[in-house]
Chains A and B, each alone.
Chain A
């Protein structure tokens, strides 16, 4: 069976500090990968998605970036965090054209102070 991991689970960072959130998927190959942000009491905002190694599509211009160094690894980064980067970050995967449902990780709660 497939599983998706995210870490850390919670993170408190000062404004201006760097960020690195990691997501890995087990039990499947060549998944589509997604990063979402969920602000408090709000819906999901798609940040990035990737259909393969090194292929990243950005949905919203911002100070965040994403990378996919390995087939089942997806990293969300920032060089300098802003207060507005606080939120709940969710990673998800899908099988792509073989099925469009997305499966979500447990999330990372980021607080920028």
Chain B
């Protein structure tokens, strides 16, 4: 079946550091790809998306590019802030989405 694999966390960074969270997927066809963010005690918020190969999704300084050849959708941000501390989920699919297990990001001042 379809699956999404994310890097294990937590990822601990200092403010203004560069962030990469790896995500790879296995799926039939070319699914839509998503990154969601979850703050403590809240639901998931859509961060960005890409619907076809080579699409780049971006939002709030975060970026991810749909790489068909490597079946990847890595999340990047050039300079993280303390407020970016949260759990990040990668997801893939069509009407039903498959989610990764989440990666916790901790950013210290």
A: residues with CB less than 8 A from B are: 6, 32, 42-44, 46, 49, 51, 90, 92, 94, 96-97, 100-107, 109
Contacts and interface: CB of A to CB of B under 8 A. Distances in A.
B44 A46 contact: no
Interface of B: 32, 34, 36, 41-46, 49, 51, 89, 93-97, 99-102
Nearest to B42: A106
Contacts of A90: 43-44
B46 A97 contact: no
Contacts of A107: 41-43
A104 B45 contact: yes
A44 B97 CA distance: 10
Q: Most chain-B CB neighbours within 10 Å: which of A6, A44, A46, A94? A: A44
A32 B95 contact: yes
24 contacts: A32-B95, A42-B102, A43-B100, A43-B102, A44-B44, A44-B89, A44-B99, A46-B96, A46-B97, A49-B96, A90-B44, A92-B43, A94-B95, A96-B95, A100-B51, A100-B95, A101-B49, A102-B46, A104-B36, A104-B44, A104-B45, A107-B42, A107-B43, A109-B41
A6 B41 CA distance: 13
Contacts, number: 48
Contacts of A100: 32, 51, 93-95, 97
Contacts of B32: 100-101
Q: Which 4 A/B pairs are nearest by Cβ-Cβ distance?
A: A104-B43, A43-B101, A104-B44, A44-B99
A106 B44 CA distance: 8
Given A101-B49, A104-B44, A43 B89 contact: yes
Given A42-B101, A101-B32, A101-B34, A106 B95 contact: no
